[in-house]
Amino acid sequence: MIKINLLSSLLLMITIGISTLFSSNFVNASPVDTFEFNDEVTKVRFQALSKELRCPKCQNQNLADSNSPIAADLRHELYELLQQGKADSEVVNFMVNRYGEFVLYRPRVSSITYILWFGPALLILLGIIVVIVILRKKPVDKANLALKPEQQKKLQQLLQNESESESADSNPVDLNSANLNLESVEKE
Amino acid sequence: MKKVIRFLPLILVIALGVVLYRGLSLNPQDMPSALVGKAMPDFSLLTLNDEAKTVTKADLVGDIILLNVWATWCPTCKYEHPYLLEIANDSKLNSQVKLYGLNYKDERLAAQQWLTNYKDPYQFSIFDEKGTLGLDLGVFGAPETFVIDHHGIIRKRFAGAIDVRVWRKEFEPLITQLISERQQGK
């Protein structure tokens, strides 16, 4: 029993060892720069901005993710700007002036980005309007289905006639013969 | 009315298909530069061929300029090079338009060797080892070509190689327009 426990714990250790080996490899796969920051706040700002800014070359990665040379340059530039004591908005303006609105993963609200910012809300609104219109249409249809007064009158009459004839000939055989008679009349 | 509504989903799907199909042939690198319509940024750098010679913006502005960003590490630049030579040797174009090089994040010796080996189409090349002017121009790769008018305003940025087809489509109309603008004294 003890032997088995030992063996299983050994196996466990090996698996953990291998997995940590691989996970550390994954960490190494992302770009590694060594930037030294004077304080923790600048470090956090650097990390936040490099996630917020997009790499102009590899368009689906941010500066923090990308391995491309231009992303490395821009990370360096970002570091320099922060070391110079530039505010976040100044850094963002610096990048936008050179690479356009495109470098922002969250573009600023302007006439060209209205559709991005308000498009989804507009679509939801449109959807709600369509649903409301459809829901409101149904009762109107039901009202239309109801009979008009003159139709009601006619129906009443028909029903009355039926009940009168029914009470007159209560014998089903007679009724059948009457039907037969009717058919023969129609054929003639 | 009901018939139209019945076909509405089909119409929408076809419309979506057309939009997505068009997207297939669009070039995602083809972005409007933030600098189009703005003045060329100031700089002070050495030339590639002469380590003692400093060039600034003032040395360029005044002509209609093609500024070609190139480097020896860039294979597409090699593909583009013969056409740049053709542009440089076109005497009719030459009298109106000046072609300058911006050697971007490169090694000086390798770049000089390149120009010796493949011939030099440029009036001169600016040696931008650290990519500072490149950064100010919003360059993110090579080759890229900027068209700058005689007032020093950037009028176009093109990312990618220039060949005959690209030249006729992207550059020729703008160059013709700039030449006539200059002739009218604008």
Higher pLDDT, A119 or A8: A119
DSSP class of residue B153 equals B
B36-51 pLDDT, tens per residue? 889 999 999 999 998 8
CB of B87 closer than 8 Å to CB of B66: yes
DSSP class of residue B173 equals H
Same domain? For A127 and A75 the reply is no
- For residue A95, the chain B residue with the least C-alpha distance is B138
10 Å CB burial of residue A165 (0-12, 13-18, 19+) is: exposed
This prediction has a pTM of: 0.69
The predicted pLDDT at position B78 comes to: 93
CB of B166 closer than 8 Å to CB of B68: no
Same domain? For A75 and A123 the reply is no
Q: By residue range, what is the domain housing residue A145? A: 114-187
The one-letter amino acid at A46: F
A120-168 pLDDT, tens per residue? 999 999 999 999 998 887 665 566 677 888 888 999 999 998 888 776 6
Question: So where are chain B's domains?
Answer: 32-183
B129 Cβ neighbours under 8 A, 6+ residues apart: B105, B106, B108
pLDDT at B92 over 60: yes
Higher pLDDT, A26 or A59: A59
| 3-state secondary structure string across A121-134 | HHHHHHHHHHHHHH
**Alpha carbons A35 and A43: distance in angstroms, whole number:** 9
Provide the CATH number for the domain around residue A88.
1.10.8.640
The predicted pLDDT at position A127 comes to: 95
Same domain? For A99 and A157 the reply is no
- The domain boundary, picked from A42, A77, A103, lies at A103
Secondary structure class of B31 (helix, strand, coil): coil
Mean pLDDT of chain B, nearest integer: 90
What is the second-level CATH architecture of the domain B32-183?
Answer: 3-Layer(aba) Sandwich (3.40)
What part of B 26-85 touches A (C-beta under 8 Å)?
28, 31-35
B62-86 pLDDT, tens per residue? 889 999 999 999 999 999 999 999 9
Same domain? For A86 and A137 the reply is no
Sign (positive or negative) of CA dihedral A69, B68, B45, A78: negative
SS3 content of chain B, % helix, strand, coil (to 5): 45, 20, 35
Instruction: For B30, list phi and psi in degrees, rounded to 5.
Output: -80, 85
**Alpha carbons B1 and B109: distance in angstroms, whole number:** 74
Same domain? For A38 and A88 the reply is yes
Q: What total of structural domains would you count in chain A?
A: 2
Closest-CA distance, A152 to chain B, in angstroms, reads 29
Higher pLDDT, B30 or A115: A115
Chain A residues whose C-beta sits inside 8 Å of any chain B C-beta: 56-57, 59, 69-70, 73, 77, 96-102
A28-76 pLDDT, tens per residue? 445 667 888 888 899 999 999 999 998 888 878 899 888 888 888 899 9
| Residue A69 belongs to a domain | yes
- The domain boundary, picked from A74, A103, A132, lies at A103
